[in-house]
């Protein structure tokens, strides 16, 4: 049975309104909007046990027809990794070791190794992708607990399109800050932008805006050092993603009260109107990957 959330996972408020209801991959998906802080979260949603089965094998088979990596996905991940490394280079000097949670085929790890000479470790629950990464000579674990057991700390921890899949993002981030990240390390996070990305998928338990992501990071003890709302590698014009570089900070003793996000439903309607106009009127101009147009459909 799916699990119903009784209160907002960011601010704890008990009142929320239905923002969107749809079917995705033959399953009903309901997204709710917190009446106090403006966080968008899925409820009811899959349980931890359902998620484990789903990510071990089903997920890739459903979204791309088979479990193993396909050329189109690897190409997309390579373009994304190149952009992320460029983003890192502008802010970060030296790095020694990089932990990528949800590392997929391991392409970002390979790219940071080339760019910074880092030691790399990945965590990937999908078996076929994990084996692919290992086949490339990478150290890839099935679960974070195995990394934790080694006691190693990293000066870069990344979660690229992972946070929105986690049942309790603030708790996971706080755990990473306490156990895996060095005290002056960097956290790199990218999520879909709720105002322009479709986002309301069965696997997305949260749909963030720049503010709700910043507040979620704050709750977990991170301060944002740099943020880009951008569309690479999909689009130069449409900001599908929110990319954040954050650092650990001292936790405040005062009770956590996030700054609220306002007008979420209206801003999403405006974002979609903008996307509709751009993609219809200027289809060839705004997609960076115009040779592979299915990206455009899938990425929206």
Helices (H), 225-299: 264-281, 283-286, 294-299
Count of residues engaged in binding Zn ion, rule: CB under 5 A? 8
The helix or strand, by DSSP H or E, that contains position 53, with its residue range, turns out to be: helix 48-53
* Stretch near Zn ion under the rule CB under 5 A, chosen from 1-9, 122-130, 232-240, 249-257: 1-9
Q: In this complex, which beta carbon is closest to Zn ion, that of residue 39 or of residue 99? A: 39
Quote the least distance from Cβ 8 to Zn ion, whole Å.
3
Give me the helix-helix angle, 169-179 and 210-219, nearest 10°. Answer: 50
Quote the least distance from Cβ 246 to Zn ion, whole Å.
20
Cis peptide before 38 (omega within 30 of 0): no
30: Cβ–Cβ under 8 A, 6 or more apart, which residues?
18, 20, 21, 42, 43, 44
Quote the least distance from Cβ 38 to Zn ion, whole Å.
7
Q: Is 187 in the site for Zn ion (CB under 5 A)?
A: no
Q: Are 242 and 193 in contact (CB under 8 A)?
A: yes
Quote the least distance from Cβ 195 to Zn ion, whole Å.
18
Per-state percent for the chain, helix, strand, coil, to nearest 5: 40, 25, 35
Quote the least distance from Cβ 269 to Zn ion, whole Å.
21
Q: In this complex, which beta carbon is closest to Zn ion, that of residue 211 or of residue 275? A: 211
Q: Which of the residues 3 through 62 are near Zn ion (CB under 5 A)?
A: 8, 10-11, 13, 34, 36-37, 39
Quote the least distance from Cβ 9 to Zn ion, whole Å.
8
Q: In this complex, which beta carbon is closest to Zn ion, that of residue 7 or of residue 152? A: 7
Q: In this complex, which beta carbon is closest to Zn ion, that of residue 15 or of residue 285? A: 15
Q: In this complex, which beta carbon is closest to Zn ion, that of residue 257 or of residue 276? A: 257
Q: Are 42 and 19 in contact (CB under 8 A)?
A: no
Q: Which of the residues 155 through 184 are near Zn ion (CB under 5 A)?
A: none
In 10 A of CB 84, how many CB atoms? Answer: 23
Q: Minimal CA–CA distance to 144: which of 112, 184, 183, 172?
A: 172
Q: In this complex, which beta carbon is closest to Zn ion, that of residue 130 or of residue 211? A: 211
Quote the least distance from Cβ 129 to Zn ion, whole Å.
33
C-alpha to C-alpha distance for 174 and 13, rounded to whole angstroms: 21
Strand-pair category, 119-123 with 97-101: parallel
Q: In this complex, which beta carbon is closest to Zn ion, that of residue 39 or of residue 176? A: 39
| Residue whose token pair is 């069965």 | 202
Residues near Zn ion (CB under 5 A) are 8, 10-11, 13, 34, 36-37, 39
């Amino acid at each position: 049975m799916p699990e119903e959330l009784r209160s907002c996972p960011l601010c704890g408020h008990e009142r929320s309104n239905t923002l969107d209801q749809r079917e995705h991959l033959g399953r009903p998906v309901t997204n709710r909007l917190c009446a106090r802080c403006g966080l968008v979260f899925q409820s009811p949603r899959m349980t931890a046990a359902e998620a484990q089965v789903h990510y071990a094998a089903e997920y890739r088979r459903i979204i791309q027809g088979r479990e193993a990596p396909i050329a189109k996905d690897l190409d997309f991940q390579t373009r994304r990794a190149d952009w992320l490394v460029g983003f890192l280079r502008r802010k970060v000097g030296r790095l020694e070791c990089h932990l990528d949670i949800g590392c997929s085929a391991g392409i970002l790890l390979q790219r940071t190794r080339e760019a910074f000479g880092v030691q790399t470790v990945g965590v990937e629950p999908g078996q076929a992708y994990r084996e692919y990464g290992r086949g490339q000579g990478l150290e890839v674990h099935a679960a974070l607990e195995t990394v934790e057991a080694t006691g190693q700390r990293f000066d870069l921890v990344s979660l690229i399109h992972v946070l929105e899949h986690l049942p309790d993002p603030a708790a996971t981030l706080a755990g990473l800050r306490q156990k895996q990240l060095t005290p002056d390390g960097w956290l790199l996070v990218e999520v879909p932008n709720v105002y322009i990305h479709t986002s309301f998928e069965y696997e997305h338990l949260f749909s963030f805006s720049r503010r709700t992501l910043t507040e979620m990071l704050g709750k977990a003890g991170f301060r944002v050092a740099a943020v880009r709302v951008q569309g690479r590698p999909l689009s130069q014009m449409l900001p599908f993603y929110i990319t954040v570089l954050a650092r650990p900070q001292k936790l405040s003793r005062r009770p956590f009260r996030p700054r609220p996000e306002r007008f979420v439903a209206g801003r999403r309607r405006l974002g979609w109107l903008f996307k509709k106009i751009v993609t219809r009127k200027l289809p060839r101009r705004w997609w960076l990957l115009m040779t592979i147009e299915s990206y455009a459909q899938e990425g929206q």
